[in-house]
Chain A
Amino acid sequence: MKQVDTAEPDSGDVLRAGPRGVLGPSWNLVRRQLQQVLAFASLIVLVAFFAIANPNFLTWSNLSGILLSTAVIGILALGTTFVIITSGIELSLGTGMTLAAVMTGVMLTGWGLPLMVGVIGGVLTGAVIGLINGLSIAVLKIPPFIATLAMMLIAQGLALVISGTAPIYFTDVPGFTDIALASVIPGVRLPSAVLILFALTAIAALILAKSVLGRYSFAIGSNEEAASLSGIAVRKWKIAVYTLSGCFMGIAGVVLAARLNSAQPALGIGYELQAIAAVVIGGTSLQGGKGSIIGTLIGALIVGTVTNGLRIMSIPQEWQSVVIGLVILAAVYIDILRRGR
């Protein structure tokens, strides 16, 4: 074929300041951050709306309540952000979290192990679930949707079997509820679960932005074949990503159990979808290759705020999920508009 003039963004050598050198990156940066900016703006608008609609909304106790109820979904969403950036999906979050909570319950109340061991056991349960997901996806080549759907059912069943279908109460385990509900900062009534969420957000953001694992997640999600041909051990890193997500799942399980002071084996289904919704609202693309942790945190807060705000306005629960559904549609459609170039 013959070449006719090819448009080339020819603006001098690397990093030499030309007109593009100044405009290009900054505009890129704006466009890249647009989804987060939009998500943050909608969060502010939502808070303002609910504050006007109901004066009780903007009280400290209500706000910290929102944060507390956001914590579990937020922690789940942080882990699954990595998975979704690799263009995978994780459906076993909810029931896997429940299984982790039940395991913690068995270790602490059944076997009488020390508190710390029970907590670590719960987190490890999540990690093992994630590891198995990673192995079935990366080694057995089972599509993520199917692999984690199967794991969702397996974890749900195991949680019921191990607990004997009855809730496990932690009333005899001193200090357990403090994991989620203690006020750590003197003078500020902010439950520790919220601090855990914030700390994990910082850790996840660091891993995503600064670690090899984070970069490889983007590489795999952008172009798995090219990533592999670049010498990235894609299988190994996928397993690592699902295991990391599993760790977050385990932590969420422990936090939920501590908040409820019990492990409820029947709970869990539906949490995975709320977590995925938070990730998507936060601007992470289900096609992979794009996403951010801060976006996910904002997304989780939006889900929490809408739920709480509608409740405080006495709108029935049935309608809350309708609204969340509409929010997801709007968020993803905005993302499509943004990419439409």
Chain B
Amino acid sequence: MHEPLLSLEGISKGFPGVQALSDVHLELRAGEVHAVVGENGAGKSTLMKLLAGIHQKDADVIRIDGREVDIDSPRAAQELGISIIHQEFSLMPDLTIAENIYIGREPRTGLGLLVDDRKLNRLAADLFARLGIELDPRTRVADLLVAQQQVVEIAKALSFDARILIMDEPTAALTESETANLFRLIRDLRGEGTGVIYISHRLGELKEISDRITVLRDGEYVDTLPTAEAELPHVISLMVGRHLAAGSRTRQGPQTDRPVVLEVRGLGDKGLLDDVSFDLCEGEILGFAGLVGAGRTETARILCGADRADRGQILLRGRPVKIRTPADAARLRIGYLSEDRKRFGLMLDQDVGFNILASSLADHANALGFIHDGPARRSAQTYAEQLRIRTPSLRSEVRTLSGGNQQKVILARWLARDCDVLIFDEPTRGIDVGAKEEIYELLDRLAGEGKSIIMISSELPEVLRMADRIVVMCEGKVTGVLDGAAADQRTVMEYATRSGAHGGIAR
């Protein structure tokens, strides 16, 4: 057998508080499309960033053609023939295609002070001819379709004479026919001996394009399978094969006698959501499962007024409501706890008390808008104590708190506002194990007090443990509503990858 084009051994990478990768290995042959799959946070992106020279390894050996190499900068990666195509495009919309491809290494003229446009466009045209791309290099990138931008990204990556091409979710923004074109290009590259590492959540398309599949889970290597022999359910079980978090199920499952608090009917949002319908009962924890991009966060953002739906209806306690802004949602006593607490939740410069009171401040103000400090402070203190927020004082800056306590600060904010519909988006992301347990108990307790809870989570064991019922989404649709007491990981994943299916009204 030949020396592999690229081989990774014992790759480890830690960030403060998190071991993102430990002892991962991977082998890429020339002319191979090698898929890397795993759940959110399995370490795929970190691995790719190591290869692209964006992150530096902690401990590992990377070999190219059997020779050990050191990738300490994006430049070094380029020189080694590694090119990465990121999920988000890095093209500059106001420059032309050719300018984008050769940015930073434009051919020069006039004592090296001017860009030689003619030569630049010729270089790009030659490149396109070689790749069989039919685009005018002088077109501005802003005038291109998304798929064409994708092609430009690929052409740019290949213009470095890349032998190793890394693609991160390349089809995320593409239509079916555009995907087909992309696959044709990938097959051509494969024929020329380029090695492609292909990251995707869309398991279906891996069958079509990849030669082998490597599964990562929790930053660790699980297995590598030849695609021809891999059955999707098996791949799924390798991806999720995680043990249930300590602590057993405390929830009862569906309760049909509870009054319905929130009814969502036919929610649609241009290409992101399609006919999403479900009910949320009083005192219920409704889990939302699905892969990244399934539309769970989009649904939540519509319910909390951060985004608006094109279509559909929302009924709160039987009455149709319009939620146009987050202020509307707060008035209707719907609280949202984002997965990205630092960006969408906290005011990091401000203290704990300030953050708790952010939504309910007006309740403590007189007609002129001046705040009664005493009652406001007592309110903040009450909720801080009730949720057992560990902080030196209410005056401490919220940034100094741990993830779990920051989460509790935002929860306290909504409880202070008297919210009874609470939407948790990844409630335990970035929170350590002990604190997770505390969040679970808290969710249980809140539901017991009659709060209605939507819990979006990509950690299946968490959903299976906490949810009375589970709404599973895939590609913007609800594909199933499962009894939380009876569901298992495999069933949920099957629904989560069921593209094209349709669920009807979930109850």
Interface residues of chain A, those whose CB is within 8 Å of chain B, are 1-15, 18, 20-21, 24-25, 28-29, 206, 210-213, 215-216, 218-219, 222-223, 225-233, 289-290
**CA distance in complex: A226, B326 (Å):** 10
* B397→A28 contact, CB < 8 A: yes
* A1→B362 contact, CB < 8 A: no
For A3, A8, A9, A222, the residue with the greatest tally of chain B CB atoms inside 10 Å of its CB is A3
Q: Closest Cβ of chain A: how far from B68's Cβ, in Å?
A: 27
The answer, among B354, B371, B381, for a CB contact under 8 Å with A212, is: B371
Q: Closest Cβ of chain B: how far from A23's Cβ, in Å?
A: 8
The answer, among A1, A9, A14, A230, for a CB contact under 8 Å with B41, is: A1
Besides the known contacts A3-B433, A229-B306, 11 further A-B residue pairs in the complex with CB atoms under 8 A apart:
A4-B17, A4-B18, A9-B402, A11-B392, A15-B393, A20-B392, A210-B373, A219-B350, A226-B343, A232-B358, A289-B347
The answer, among B327, B381, B432, for a CB contact under 8 Å with A15, is: B381
**CA distance in complex: A107, B389 (Å):** 58
**CA distance in complex: A147, B344 (Å):** 26
Closest to A10 in B: B390
* A25→B396 contact, CB < 8 A: yes
Q: Mark each residue of chain B from 377 to 406: 1 if its CB lies under 8 Å from any CB of chain A, else 0.
A: 000010011001111111111001111110
**CA distance in complex: A219, B417 (Å):** 16
* B344→A226 contact, CB < 8 A: yes
Interface residues of chain B, those whose CB is within 8 Å of chain A, are 14, 17-20, 22, 41, 43, 218-219, 304, 306, 325-327, 329-331, 336, 338, 343-351, 354, 357-359, 361-362, 365, 368-371, 373, 381, 384-385, 388-397, 400-405, 413, 417, 431-433, 435
For B343, B361, B394, B433, the residue with the greatest tally of chain A CB atoms inside 10 Å of its CB is B361
Number of A-B contacts (CB under 8 A): 158
Q: Which residues of B contact A226 (CB under 8 A)?
A: 343-347, 358
Q: Which residues of B contact A18 (CB under 8 A)?
A: 392
* B369→A211 contact, CB < 8 A: yes
Given A7-B17, A231-B359, residue A14 in contact with residue B381 (CB < 8 A): yes
Q: Which residues of B contact A10 (CB under 8 A)?
A: 390, 402
**CA distance in complex: A290, B399 (Å):** 15
Closest to A228 in B: B326
Given A6-B432, A8-B390, A218-B354, residue A29 in contact with residue B395 (CB < 8 A): yes
* A231→B326 contact, CB < 8 A: yes
**CA distance in complex: A129, B43 (Å):** 53
* A233→B361 contact, CB < 8 A: no
Q: Closest Cβ of chain B: how far from A25's Cβ, in Å?
A: 5
Q: Which residues of B contact A218 (CB under 8 A)?
A: 347, 349-350, 354
Q: Closest Cβ of chain B: how far from A65's Cβ, in Å?
A: 36
Closest to B400 in A: A9
